[in-house]
Every structure is written in C-alpha cells, then in structure tokens.
Amino acid sequence: MKLKFIIAALAFAGVALGGVASASAQCARVGQELCQNGQVYRCERTGSELTPIFQNRLCAVSVPSLNGIWRGTGHQSPAGKTGSDWSIAMTITDGGGSIDYPSLSCGGTLTQLSRNPTSAQFRETITYGERDCIDGGTITVRLFNGRLSWTWFGVSRGKQYNAIAVLTR
C-alpha cells in the first residue's frame, strides 16, 4: 500500500518511474491505457484525481498520413458551366497521385510540388474529359482531425477560379 502511494505521488508530481508523465494525457476512467510519446500509461485513482501512471511498456504512436483515397464534394467560385458543386475522388501517393471528378466526368494526374507530414501541394494535369475541367490548377491539402482540407486554384480564359472542399477517407 505504501509503495502504491509513492508511485502515485511520483506520477502526480510528473516523475513517472524514469519517465515524465505527459501533461497531455487525459484519463477518462480507471484502467484506461494511454499511449503518450511511445510509452504506455495506465489511469489510476490517486486521491480524488485520475492520474496516468507510467507502465514501462512501449506502444505504437500512430502517425497521420496523407496517403490514401479521399472523397468529398467541392464548391467552386465562380460557378462553372456545370454548376458550383461537384464530387471529388483524390488518391495521394508518396510522389503525387490522381484526381477524379466523377460528376464532371474528368480527372487526371497530380504532380507533387511540396509536402510535409500533414500538408502538400500538387499541380493538377487533366488527362481525360478536358471539356468540363480546367487544366493546370494547383491543389493544396492539409490534414486536420482525420479530414483533408482541400483548396484548388486555377485560371481559364483569363478568369480565376477557386474551389474548396473537406475530404474524408
């Protein structure tokens, strides 16, 4: 009993048996296990508080990835010949990807211009159904809370167009 109290006091003070208890750990219930900075913490009651206690076990930290298939609905301003809202299916790979606009019956390839773990910028090249799509647009994506914030900018016949969307897996 005395040892458990000492362990709980150390964890509460931020020193968790050789590691520092993470301030971002949020305990919801006794027994819950949290993965913080690659280490497992188990939630225990320490007095009237729930405290993450260091367990000296490694855990996998999930790293968000832009790669995958993303879908959603784009909104364009000003509206094009086919309207202001249309469907998007975007596939992101390590070096680029592809873009499809199913409701516009067009799409093409994406050439990656820049990238970090949570955002990227692509140059779009329309390769099929060119009649209803603007070729050469720039797409910028940002990963936030498991969703992809998507913006597009392009010029056609001297007129600027912008589009926005939120895409999901």
Nearest CA to 61 out of 32, 92, 31, 40 is that of 40
How far apart CA 62 and CA 64 sit, in angstroms, is: 6
Which residue ranges form the domains of the chain, and what is each CATH number?
A: 2-58 (no CATH), 68-167 (2.40.128)
Query: Could you report the per-residue pLDDT of 26-80, keeping only the tens digit for each?
Result: 899 999 999 888 899 999 999 999 999 999 999 887 777 999 999 999 998 888 7
Residue 94: its pLDDT value, please? 92
Q: Strand pairing of 68-80 and 119-128?
A: unpaired
Task: Give the percent of the chain with pLDDT over 90.
Answer: 64
Average pLDDT of 85-108?
95
Nearest CA to 106 out of 39, 154, 145 is that of 154
Answering whether pTM is above 0.85, one says no
Phi, psi of 161 (to 5 degrees): -125, 145
